[in-house]
A and B are shown apart, each in its own frame.
Chain A
Amino acid sequence: MLLEVRDLHVEFRTRDGVAKAVNGVTYGVDAGETLAVLGESGSGKSVTAQAIMGILDMPPGRIAGGEILFQGQDLLKLKEEERRKIRGAGMAMIFQDALSSLNPVLTVGDQLGEMFTVHRGMSRKDARAKAVELMDRVRIPAAKERVRQYPHQFSGGMRQRIMIAMALALEPALIIADEPTTALDVTVQAQVMDLLAELQREYRIGLILITHDLGVVADVADRIAVMYAGRIVESAPVHDIYKAPAHPYTRGLLESIPRLDQKGQELYAIKGLPPNLLHIPPGCPFHPRCPMARDVCRTDVPPLYEVSPTRGSACHFWRECLDDYDG
């Protein structure tokens, strides 16, 4: 395994108490594999990613337990300087909003070239040449001229390509993409996603794709991990999930996608709100919103049951859930 997260716990101190953002997340990615992490906002998917990258705001954040094994070594045991060297070179991250994630007062060339001057000790001139090369790589037209421009002078799609180029710069083994297309126009979303998938295959990168868009997931992901209230509630190969979800929450997510063959029917929506992380409900955290909830759900936290050797579900009644899915 390229990356293994084991029983990770992350908390945030707030003025109203401790918010438990991640509560025992376990997942892994292989080289060349794409893992899609799915969930509503507040489910802990981004916080997990930030913990892996080591860019959590601490304080107020705190890693309360667990391991993050990257190429065999536990990142949480490394010194900050060692972790810094892994960031960018070993693993990189693509953020949602490229406009705010790029420095507004530096040219894109400077920001790309920085990867090479800092991590590889290249001269500024060589780094500039590398930057142009990267921009070509992500198919930004007229890269030679545009390398001198500032982020605001690019379109949204082009900016996200620059973010991808930056992540790709040092050919890292792992890339975490946090909602990379959410902020883009629908028309360019597919282009950017295709580019990312293509480069990922080419360089055999392990990709963690954080998203709430199930449509994107179906095309590019190998596996899916669904998160709810800081836990993995279902983890499975992508086809299994689309065939039949083994958790009522996953099912709710799937049913809330509009479908052509159900035109005229009311769109399904999961009732209720995501849980307050300061007061996560006892038992299964999803039970207040779950149509299948019974007494046991209110008291016992479901473990991740093994549905098949490659599949797990944190629902006491996963079997029922599987059986009566008609999708």
Chain B
Amino acid sequence: MPEPPYEHDGAIAGTGFGGAMDLATSEAETLEKTPGGPEGTGPAGKPRSLWSDAWRDLRRNPVFIVSALVILFLVFISLWPSAIASGNPLSCDLAKAQEGSQPGHPFGFDGQGCDVYTRTVYGARKSVTVGVCATVGVALLGSVLGGLAGFFGGVWDSVLSRITDVFFAIPVVLGGLVLLSVVTSNTVWPVIGFMVLLGWPQISRIARGSVITAKQNDYVQAARALGASNSRMLLRHIAPNAVAPVIVVATIALGTYIALEATLSYLGVGLKPPSVSWGIDISAASPYIRNAPHALLWPSGALAVTVLAFIMLGDAVRDALDPKLR
């Protein structure tokens, strides 16, 4: 598929993983007018770098603070789950199956009589691991491939564009089912590998686009005219400008990867018991939904809050980095 006729905030371009990038590029909060109203700005402010400016904005943004705190907390309990949950997620007592909340077990018990609180706390680790590793992999692979294609153009660019088209044409969940159904290993790595395999085109398109935009900047043209080498131009002039959109989209994608892991586990091809993961627990709880809805609600809630936190963080970072909105 060739480029869309013109980019409408990329809404069409990437619906890869649950359309993470639509969210990343579509919204715009332009509530403030510049001083002087429609006629334009008054005197220009002091020049500041994009990043320090963004950071100044982020520090004041309550959405950013809340989502960052949630994420820090998640990282903390994935590293040291025992700090807030003393039990063992795998020690279950069938006699207590489906029982509700009781002292020492605030979230009650699931269908196997496992403590839902403990399992929900311990479930964070797999989700965060999958999310972080998949995002890092996707971001690295996608931005290197996309960046090079955008920079050098020509045949490589066309070939890469066709390859991304191929990956976009395969429904994500379906691809996951096909690929992961034959995997017997019960670790996070096949899931991560799959996400990197199907996720990189999304980032590569964005990286490609922003490299092409950056390449056309006057100062890059000037650097080229002055005889800067390719590698120097890429590293010094283009990469710093192209990296912001990648970071934004990757942050939001992180949330969607976590959701995807849970979805695959729900379908029985992601992580499998005895792994402890929210997806597995939600899946396991769904048959008992009538009698023990709490076993479904707590891990679902944890999952939703996690995904929400990453999406909102990405949203906030995007608002802060988008110079159009200044």
Contact = CB atoms under 8 A, between A and B. Distances in A.
Contacts of A10: 37
Contact of B42 (A15, A45, A275): A275
A13 B32 CA distance: 8
B35 interface: yes
B32 A46 contact: no
B37 A41 contact: no
Contacts of B41: 42
Contacts of B39: 21, 41-47
A114 B38 CA distance: 26
B42 A61 contact: no
A241 B200 CA distance: 66
Contact of B37 (A15, A16, A19, A276): A19
Centre residue among A16, A44, A277 by max chain B CB count within 10 A: A277
Interface string A15-30: 1100101000000000
Contact of B35 (A12, A50, A273): A12
Contacts of A12: 33, 35-37
Interface in B17-53: 31-43
A15 B325 CA distance: 13
A274 interface: yes
A278 B36 CA distance: 8
A204 B36 CA distance: 33
Contacts of A15: 31-32
Contacts of B43: 273-276
Contacts of B42: 19, 42, 273-278
A57 interface: yes
Interface in A33-66: 41-47, 50, 57, 60-61
Contacts of B35: 12, 14, 16, 19, 276-278
A43 B32 CA distance: 19
A288 to B, nearest CB: 11
- What size tier do the contact residues of chain B reach? 10 to 19
Nearest to A44: B39
A21 B32 contact: no
Contacts of B40: 41-42
B38 A60 contact: no
A101 B42 CA distance: 24
A90 to B, nearest CB: 22
Centre residue among B31, B33, B34, B36 by max chain A CB count within 10 A: B36
A44 B40 CA distance: 10
Nearest to B36: A42
Main secondary structure of the interface of A (DSSP, over half): loop
A12 to B, nearest CB: 5
A46 B41 CA distance: 13
A45 B38 CA distance: 10
A47 B38 CA distance: 7
Contacts of B37: 10, 12, 19, 21, 47, 57, 60-61
B58 to A, nearest CB: 15
B46 to A, nearest CB: 13
B28 to A, nearest CB: 15
Interface string A226-267: 000000000000000000000000000000000000000000
A274 B33 CA distance: 18
Contacts of B32: 14-15, 60
B163 to A, nearest CB: 35
A75 B180 CA distance: 70
A53 to B, nearest CB: 12
B235 to A, nearest CB: 36
Contacts of B36: 12, 19, 21, 41-42, 277
Contacts of B33: 12-14, 19, 57, 60-61
B8 to A, nearest CB: 13
A82 B84 CA distance: 67
A127 B288 CA distance: 68
B229 to A, nearest CB: 39
A12 B35 CA distance: 7
Nearest to B32: A15
Nearest to A17: B35
A41 B31 CA distance: 21
A100 to B, nearest CB: 13
Nearest to B40: A41
A46 B38 contact: yes
A276 B46 CA distance: 13
B268 to A, nearest CB: 49
Contacts of A274: 42-43
A164 to B, nearest CB: 21
Contacts of A46: 38-39
B57 to A, nearest CB: 11
Interface string A55-91: 0010011000000000000000000000000000000
Contacts of A275: 42-43
13 contacts: A12-B35, A14-B35, A16-B35, A19-B35, A19-B36, A21-B36, A42-B39, A42-B42, A57-B37, A60-B33, A276-B35, A277-B42, A278-B35
Given A47-B39, A273-B42, 11 more contacts: A12-B36, A12-B37, A13-B33, A14-B33, A14-B34, A15-B31, A15-B32, A42-B41, A60-B37, A276-B35, A276-B42
Interface of A: 10, 12-16, 19, 21, 41-47, 50, 57, 60-61, 273-278
Q: Kindly list the 9 A-B residue pairs having the minimum CB-CB distance in the complex, ordered from nearest.
A: A42-B36, A276-B42, A19-B35, A273-B43, A15-B32, A12-B37, A21-B37, A277-B35, A41-B39
